[in-house]
Structure 1
Amino acid sequence: MDGTLVDTEPYWMVAETELVTSFGGRWSHEDGMQMVGLGLWKSASILQAAGVDLDADTIVERLTSHVQHQLVETGVPWRPGARELLAAVRAEGMPTALVTMSVGRMATQLAETVGFDAFDVIVAGDMVTNAKPDPEAYLRAAELLGVQTRDCVAIEDSVPGLAAAVASGAVTIGVPHMVPLAEGDADVLWPSLEGRTAADITAVYTSTRKIHG
């Protein structure tokens, strides 16, 4: 979700900065970049080490509420081509799942702003025990969809997200945004979702399965 469908990473960095500085600490852009793609409770431990004297659940609650407020005040910053690709996939009747390490209430908020029924399933960070790069969230999403992960295509923008998708057995498409992705992190790298179609996703799946089985 964050970074793949919506450009919310800057919102998270604002929330992190305000939280750390409220406890007298310093938080740089580089500090924020290390959080991209991590589970929120792992991020909370990093913020605690930076001087935030709160328990992890409270940190997650405050960060999420801050980002949700920004979404209401500023609007949802959709990534280029994201909604259009979702619409094309749904028009083809493909089942879809939103797999994110943000919490469920934020994932639901964003899903409701798409403008159509975009997802059959949402699996969020507070619905799993193990965050990305563990594959649990992807395995759970496939289970809820009633499919095998090897029959799925996962689209991710971060290294931890791609690692989770690869470990689940899904075919992977990497779309780098805030952090660079290397050849080999995903089955295919796309510079953007703009102009992509359901046929493009099917082609990636077919060609990858021909190579790897």
Structure 2
Amino acid sequence: MHSELPLAVLFDMDGTLVDTEGLWWQATGDIARSLGRELGPEDVPHVLGRAVEDTAAHLAPGDVPATARALTDAFAARISQGITLIPGARRLLAALTARGIPTALVSASPRSIVEQVLPNLDGHRFHLVIAAEDTERGKPYPDPYLAATERLGVSPADCVAIEDSPTGIAAATAAGCRVLVVDPDHGLPEFSAMSVS
């Protein structure tokens, strides 16, 4: 199997297509301070790439629903100020569309946040959007990626997942996808990197 094109490309959102992970960290830091604590390096695995409820449970185990709402509102407020696309996002999405390769968005963010971000992607229409509410377990479990491939009717082994966080990489790997890791500073890969062999 030499350089076979994937049957679908599955994108994480925050830190992969849009430069929002810093905004999420800031929002989480604000809520943490309101709870009397400062975020540090030890908090990173509980914040980046995780569902809002997971981060809320880390910050305030006794009050997850209210903390999750506060986190979502703080994140949404920052996104509303404007977001930046990761370099290469437009080019790669356009190349996949031109070749008729289905794309899915597989995000740990709640649907309300995803819907706030989507208009910034130059009208790209994903074949499928999986948000935090769509699976019982979020990343780092494979469930979101397995849900995406099942709904698209393709095998995970025939898909490329594009991720930036250890949590997301773990989820896509556990699902059986080929994973391309994005460094937000360097941007998304060229279409020529899209193979499942």
- Pairwise same-fold verdict (TM > 0.5): yes
Alignment partners' CA distance in 2, 1:20 and 1:133: 22
Match of 2:115 among 105, 108, 113: 108
> Between the two proteins, what is the percent identity of the paired residues?
36
Q: Deviations over 1:84-134 (max 9, x none)?
A: 211111111110110011001111221222122331111011111111111
Aligned-residue Cα RMSD (Å) equals: 1.9
Q: 1:83 to 1:65 in 2, by over 3 A?
A: farther
Greater relative contact order: 1 or 2 (C-alpha under 8 angstroms, separation 6 or more)?
2
Contiguous gaps of at least 5 residues in structure 2: 1-12
The TM-score with structure 1 as length reference comes to 0.79
Match of 1:14 among 23, 26, 39: 26
Match of 1:132 among 128, 139, 153: 139
Partner of 1:33: 44
Partner of 2:67: 59
Alignment partners' CA distance in 2, 1:160 and 1:17: 19
Partner of 2:166: 159
Partner of 1:84: 91
Alignment: residue pair count: 184
Q: How far apart are 1:192 and its partner, in Å?
A: 3.1
SS for the counterpart of 2:172 is helix
Match of 1:48 among 49, 60, 71: 60
Match of 2:187 among 167, 192, 208: 192
Whether the 8 Å CA contact 1:156–1:173 is kept in 2: the answer is yes
SS for the counterpart of 2:50 is coil
